[in-house]
Amino acid sequence: MAKKLTDQGWYLGFTGVITFHNARRAVEVAQKMPLDRMVIETDCPYMAPEPHRGVRNDSGFLRYMAQKLAELRGVSLEEMAAITMENGRRLFAIGEMP
């Protein structure tokens, strides 16, 4: 399903679930999908990532999702942060300010 959606131009968002030990399907999808269709999100106030599972989620935890995705894809945290930031800008049509 993820392949069909990304082939149609959709983006897929990853929440704190990607950091859970039992998140096999999310991990499989993240390993195979195109990097230019990947975004991260908080799903606030739910689904805080490990090691903060069970507490209120917020944007301060986005780093954990980016780190996990970076590990899965063999890139640096900085590179994954740049990739997902650019994808978010493109998805939401956020351009540079004049």
The string of DSSP letters for 8-70 reads TT--EEE-GGGGSTT-HHHHHHHHHS-GGGEEE---TTS-PPTTSTTS---GGGHHHHHHHHH
pLDDT at 96: 66
Tell me, what's the pLDDT at 98?
Answer: 55
pLDDT, position 43: 87
Indicate whether this model's pTM tops 0.75: yes
**Is there a contact between 42 and 64 (Cβ–Cβ < 8 Å)?**
no
The pair of three-digit structure tokens given for residue 77, joined into one six-digit string: 């945290």
**pLDDT 10s digits, 34-87:** 999 999 999 889 999 999 999 999 999 999 999 999 999 999 999 999 999 999
Distance of CA 78 to the CA centre of its chain: 13
